[in-house]
Amino acid sequence: MRIDWWTLALQAVNVLILVWLLGRFLFRPVMDAIAARQASAQALLDEAREAKDRAQAEAQALKTQNDGFVADAAARRAEIRTEAEAERQRLLAQARLEADAVVEQGHAAIDAERGRVAAQWREKAANLAASMAGTLLARLPPEQTVQAMVDALKARLGDLSEADRRSLAAAGPVTVATPAPLTADLQTQVARALAEILPDTATPIFAVDPDLIAGAELRTPHAVVRNSWRADLDAMVESLNEDDHARIA
C-alpha cells in the first residue's frame, strides 16, 4: 500500500474548489431565490395584513357611523313620537272641547225644544182650560156672570189714576167687549157706570167677543183695559213662560 500524496493533495484542492464553485453557482443562488420568495411572501402577508387592518378600521368606522345613524334615528323617532303624542293630546283636548260644545249646544237645543213644547202644551192647556171654563160658565145665567164682570171692570177702572182715566176718556170712542151679548138693561147699567167713572166719554159701543170666556174689556183706539178670563189666562201663561225661561237660564 502506497499513499499518493499528489493525488491526496489534488483531491483536497479539487473538493475545496468544488465547495467554492457550488457555493457560487448552486447554493447561494438557490438560497437567495428561496429568501427572495420568502421575502415576497412576507411582503404579501404584510400587505394583506395591512389591507386587513385597513378593512377592519374602515369596518369599525362604518360600524361607528352606522351606530351614530341608528342613535340619530332613534332620537328622531323619539322626538317625532313625543311631538305626535303632544299633537294627539292637543287634538284630543280640542275634540273634547268641541264635543263638550256640541253636547252643550245639544242640551241647549233640547232645553229650548222642551221649553217650546212646554209652552205649546201650556197654551193648549190654557185653551183647554178656557174651553172648559166657557162650557161651565155657559151653564150659569149670563146676567150673573156679566154683572160680576161689569162690577169687576168698574173696580178696575176705579183703580186707575185720575190722569189715566182722563186720557182713556180722551182716546176716542169706547167699545165694551163681552163674551155674550148684553141685555138692554145691562148695557144701560154699563153705560151708566162708565159715565160715572169716565164722565167725559161718549156712549160706549157694545161688542161680542167669545174668546173672552168671561168678563169684559174696555177698548179704545189707543188703549185696552182688560178684565176677562182670557186676559187672566194669558197672564198666567205668560207668567209660567217667564218662570220657565228664568229657570232654564
Partner 1 sequence: MKFASPLESHVLFAIGPVPISQPVATTWGIMAFLTIGSWLLTRRLALRPTRAQAALELVVETVAGQIRETMEAEPQRYLPLIGTLFLFLLVANWSSLIPGVEPPTATLETDAALALIVFGATLWFGVRALGPRAYLATFARPSILLAPLNIVELFTRSFSLMVRLFGNVMSGVFMIGVVLSLAGLLVPIPLMALEMLTGAVQAYIFGALAMVFIGSAISENGARPPSKQESPA
17 vs 170, which CB is nearer to partner 1? 17
Question: How many chain residues bind partner 1 (CB under 8 A)?
Answer: 35
Spacing of C-alpha 26 from chain mean position: 105
Q: Indicate whether 42 belongs to the interface with partner 1 (CB under 8 A).
A: no
Q: Indicate whether 131 belongs to the interface with partner 1 (CB under 8 A).
A: no
Q: Which 3-state string (H, E, C) describes the chain?
A: CCCCHHHHHHHHHHHHHHHHHHHHHHHHHHHHHHHHHHHHHHHHHHHHHHHHHHHHHHHHHHHHHHHHHHHHHHHHHHHHHHHHHHHHHHHHHHHHHHHHHHHHHHHHHHHHHHHHHHHHHHHHHHHHHHHHHHHHHCCCCHHHHHHHHHHHHHHHHHHCCHHHHHHHHCCCCCEEEECCCCCHHHHHHHHHHHHHHCCCCCCCEEEECHHHCCEEEEECCCCEEEEEHHHHHHHHHHHHHHHHHHHHC
Q: Indicate whether 170 belongs to the interface with partner 1 (CB under 8 A).
A: no
Q: Indicate whether 16 belongs to the interface with partner 1 (CB under 8 A).
A: yes
Q: Indicate whether 93 belongs to the interface with partner 1 (CB under 8 A).
A: no
Q: In terms of C-beta distances under 8 Å and separation of at least 24 residues, what long-range contacts does 158-165 make, across chains too? A: 158/197, 160/225, 165/197, 165/198
16 vs 236, which CB is nearer to partner 1? 16
Q: Indicate whether 12 belongs to the interface with partner 1 (CB under 8 A).
A: yes
Q: Indicate whether 73 belongs to the interface with partner 1 (CB under 8 A).
A: no
The binder of partner 1 chosen from 21, 93, 97, 235 (CB under 8 A): 21
Which grid cell is 221?
183706539
Q: How far is the CB of 34 from partner 1 (least distance, A)?
A: 6
Q: How far is the CB of 47 from partner 1 (least distance, A)?
A: 15
Binding region for partner 1 (CB under 8 A) out of 33-41, 51-59, 169-177, 188-196: 33-41
30 vs 86, which CB is nearer to partner 1? 30
Q: Indicate whether 121 belongs to the interface with partner 1 (CB under 8 A).
A: no
Q: Indicate whether 17 belongs to the interface with partner 1 (CB under 8 A).
A: yes
Q: Indicate whether 4 belongs to the interface with partner 1 (CB under 8 A).
A: yes
Q: Indicate whether 43 belongs to the interface with partner 1 (CB under 8 A).
A: no
Q: How far is the CB of 24 from partner 1 (least distance, A)?
A: 9
Q: Is 213 left (phi over 0), alpha (psi -120 to 50) or beta?
A: left
Binding region for partner 1 (CB under 8 A) out of 36-44, 125-133, 184-192, 224-232: 36-44
Q: Which residues would be at the binding site for partner 1 (CB under 8 A)? A: 1-12, 14-23, 25-34, 36-37, 40
